[in-house]
């Protein structure tokens, strides 16, 4: 059974609210890294917790905890991370009848600080076999393309089933194209995303879908509200074609301390994520964010990562709790 932890929180703070810049719990000017993430509901009940453990400056485990009926934290899932040079191995465990049992394994191939390939394994008859993978290409340190593969026929052969391309202008991401295969094995462009900047600030992006006749229709739009260099609010809209207008789907709010650390993310319904930090350097961010999470203007938690691979996590990998 595949571990579900990495996808559990992907739907958490979906859309909503208005915001403030919190300067209360300010860390010292020393280096800090993420220590704990708490999720709570509108009644401020804390129902889920992520704990991060390091060896030196490298993340070695992430523990996902849920509260039981008595209000005590119980380990639901755990990821253990090991390193061989620049390459990384993740092993996932899940709570089965009170025992942590192995459930998934992933391998990352890194060259010169860039993520080149990701491989996912599943257990079949007690043996780990490749289930899917993703590979990446770059220009300098800018990701330019990815390709995904899976074992669609369950025969041990990985076949390409997806790909994406990135275009840049003046050093900024200007367009993203996503492709899929039709029933005949031919590639077609499934969607595209365009980006709008004011100076170096990304102020919005729009996702488009095919109109069926070589053109494009509006689909989803995201706009960002800044205070200085910080994104304080993210507003999302969907295109209401019957009236040719954008309809709001809500907002998401972000709070930072004076050192620029993300300390809170919230939505109007009251769901909230809070981040706690500790002194030291770490690489936790690279296990949670895709490349466009950083260029799409999405605030990320602080990990003081020293590795360039932080910018090159797979497009489709949903290792995030937002």
pLDDT in tens, 12-48: 222 222 222 333 334 345 678 889 999 999 999 999 9
CATH for the stretch 5-311: 2.40.128.720
Confidence at residue 220, expressed as pLDDT on a 0 to 100 scale:
92
Work out the burial of residue 127: count CB atoms within 10 Å of its CB; fewer than 13 is exposed, 13-18 middle, 19 or more buried: exposed
Find, among 186, 237, 190, 187, the residue nearest to 210 by Cα: 190
The CA-atom distances, in angstroms, between 249 and each of 9, 140, 236, 237, 238 are: 19, 37, 5, 5, 7
pLDDT in tens, 186-237: 999 999 999 999 988 889 999 999 988 889 999 999 999 998 888 889 999 9
Confidence at residue 43, expressed as pLDDT on a 0 to 100 scale:
92
Q: What is the DSSP letter of 25?
A: S
Confidence at residue 11, expressed as pLDDT on a 0 to 100 scale:
27
User: 0.85 cut: is pTM over it?
Assistant: no
Residue ranges in the chain whose pLDDT is less than 70: 1-30, 285-322
Domain boundaries, the chain: 5-311
């Amino acid at each position: 059974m595949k571990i579900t932890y990495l996808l559990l929180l992907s739907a958490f703070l979906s859309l909503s609210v208005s915001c403030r810049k919190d300067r209360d719990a300010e860390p010292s000017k020393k280096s800090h890294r993420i220590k704990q993430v708490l999720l709570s509901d509108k009644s401020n009940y804390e129902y889920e917790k992520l704990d991060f453990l390091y060896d030196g400056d490298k993340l070695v485990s992430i523990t996902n905890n849920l509260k039981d009926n008595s209000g005590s934290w119980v380990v639901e899932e755990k990821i253990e991370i090991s390193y061989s040079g620049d390459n990384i191995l993740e092993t996932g465990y899940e709570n089965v009848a009170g025992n942590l049992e192995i459930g998934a394994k992933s391998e990352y191939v890194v060259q010169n600080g860039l993520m080149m390939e990701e491989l996912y394994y599943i257990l079949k008859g007690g043996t780990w076999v490749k289930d899917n993978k993703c590979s990446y290409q770059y220009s300098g340190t800018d990701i330019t393309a990815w390709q995904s593969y899976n074992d669609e026929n369950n025969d041990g052969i990985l076949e390409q089933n997806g790909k994406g391309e990135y275009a840049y202008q003046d050093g900024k991401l200007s367009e993203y194209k996503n492709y899929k295969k039709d029933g005949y094995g031919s590639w077609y462009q499934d969607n595209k995303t365009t980006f709008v900047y004011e100076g170096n600030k990304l102020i919005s992006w729009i996702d488009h879908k095919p109109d069926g006749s070589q053109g494009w229709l509006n689909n989803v739009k995201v706009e960002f509200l800044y205070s200085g260099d910080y994104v304080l609010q993210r507003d999302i809209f969907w295109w209401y074609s019957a009236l040719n207008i954008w309809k709001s789907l809500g907002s998401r709010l972000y709070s930072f301390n004076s050192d620029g650390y993300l300390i809170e993310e919230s939505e109007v319904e009251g769901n909230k994520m809070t981040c706690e930090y500790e002194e030291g350097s770490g690489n936790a961010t690279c296990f949670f964010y895709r490349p466009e999470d950083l260029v799409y203007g999405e605030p990320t938690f602080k990990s003081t990562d020293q590795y360039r691979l932080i910018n090159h996590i797979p497009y489709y990998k949903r290792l995030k709790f937002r």
